[in-house]
Structure 1
Amino acid sequence: MRVIFGQVDGLVVLEGNANLNNEKLCGSGILIVEGNLNINQNQNASCPQGFRGMIYVKGGSASVRGDLELLGGIVVEGNMSFEETSIAGTGRKVTFDPNVLYEQLNLNAPHLLKVQSGSWRQQ
Structure 2
Amino acid sequence: MWGHLSEKQYHVFKLKNVHIYCDAQSVEVSGHAISLTRLEYRFLVYMVENKNRAISREELLNEIWQIEQPIETRATDDTVKRLHKKLRAAHAQIEIETIRGFGFIIKKNRA
Of structures 1 and 2, the larger Rg is shown by 2
Q: Please, what TM-score do these two structures have when normalized by structure 1?
A: 0.29
Bigger relative contact order, structure 1 or 2 (CA pairs below 8 A, ≥6 apart): 2
Question: Which has a greater percent of strand?
Answer: 1
Question: Which has a greater percent of helix?
Answer: 2
